[in-house]
Chains A and B, each alone.
Chain A
Amino acid sequence: KNQVEQSPQSLIILEGKNCTLQCNYTVSPFSNLRWYKQDTGRGPVSLTIMTFSENTKSNGRYTATLDADTKQSSLHITASQLSDSASYICVVSARLEGGADGLTFGKGTHLIIQP
């Protein structure tokens, strides 16, 4: 069964500090991996998307890494800001018959940035 596990479940850090969120997956056949940021009460917003051949991708202060051999990804946030407080969701895509992607979601890491 396809699964995506995220850690930690929640994290509190001080403003200005860095942090790293982890995502381990067992999804086959792998298509791509995405990180989303979800503010409370809103829909998820895409931060990065990586395919099998990509092992790092940045979006401003967010840097995602992917190790397809060990099936692990991380999201590193640099110089955190109060607006980074949100849930961060790892989503791994597998190719389904018929062409659509099957998305498997992690349960998210709830990040709180304290002033």
Chain B
Amino acid sequence: DVKVTQSSRYLVKRTGEKVFLECVQDMDHENMFWYRQDPGLGLRLIYFSYDVKMKEKGDIPEGYSVSREKKERFSLILESASTNQTSMYLCASGLGGRAYGYTFGSGTRLTVV
């Protein structure tokens, strides 16, 4: 089974801190995604990457950046955390294309105080 591992389940950070969320997948997938999930809003795409060193903005990229230096690792960076970035963050990876599914990590619940 594909495994997508997010480095932390729960994280508490202070306003203004730089925050790194790490995601690692073990199936050589090309595509990786970062979403945030908030009550009533569903999952919203922050950034995605379809190859090493490639990144594309999703629907809500403001306040975030990403890094994909190796195929298996996709990092989400909050340059200066704010309270409105308190959320559940989900990473996903997949091969893309018609027949392939995507696998999600277990999520990181980030609280910014």
Q: A residues touching B (Cβ–Cβ < 8 Å)?
A: 31-32, 34, 36, 41-46, 49, 51-52, 89, 91, 98-101, 103, 105-108
Indicate the member of A34, A99, A106, A108 with the most B CB atoms within 10 Å. Answer: A99
**Which A residues are in CB contact (< 8 Å) with B103?**
46
Within 8 A of A (CB), among B1-55: 4, 6, 30-31, 33, 35, 40-45, 48, 50, 54
**Which B residues are in CB contact (< 8 Å) with A100?**
30-31, 48, 50, 56, 96
Closest residue of chain B to A105, judged by CB?
B43
Q: B residues touching A (Cβ–Cβ < 8 Å)?
A: 4, 6, 30-31, 33, 35, 40-45, 48, 50, 54, 56, 88, 90, 92, 94, 96-107, 109
Report which of B33, B97, B98, B105 forms a contact with A103, defined as CB distance below 8 A. B33
Closest residue of chain A to B42, judged by CB?
A107
Closest residue of chain B to A107, judged by CB?
B42
Beta-carbon contact of B104 and A51 below 8 Å: no
**Which B residues are in CB contact (< 8 Å) with A106?**
42
**Which B residues are in CB contact (< 8 Å) with A51?**
98-99
Closest residue of chain B to A106, judged by CB?
B42
Beta-carbon contact of A42 and B107 below 8 Å: yes
Closest residue of chain A to B98, judged by CB?
A51
**Which B residues are in CB contact (< 8 Å) with A31?**
97-98
**Whole-angstrom CA separation of A41 from B40 in the bound complex:** 15
Q: How far is the CB of B29 from chain A (nearest CB, A)?
A: 11
Sorted from nearest, which 8 A-B pairs have the closest CB atoms? Answer: A43-B104, A100-B50, A107-B42, A105-B43, A49-B101, A43-B107, A43-B106, A44-B104
Q: How far is the CB of B113 from chain A (nearest CB, A)?
A: 19
**Whole-angstrom CA separation of A108 from B39 in the bound complex:** 10
**Whole-angstrom CA separation of A41 from B88 in the bound complex:** 8
**Which B residues are in CB contact (< 8 Å) with A91?**
102
Q: Known pairs A100-B96, A103-B92, A106-B42. 8 more at Cβ < 8 A?
A: A41-B88, A46-B103, A49-B99, A100-B50, A100-B56, A103-B45, A103-B102, A107-B42
**Which B residues are in CB contact (< 8 Å) with A105?**
35, 42-44
Q: How far is the CB of A111 from chain B (nearest CB, A)?
A: 16
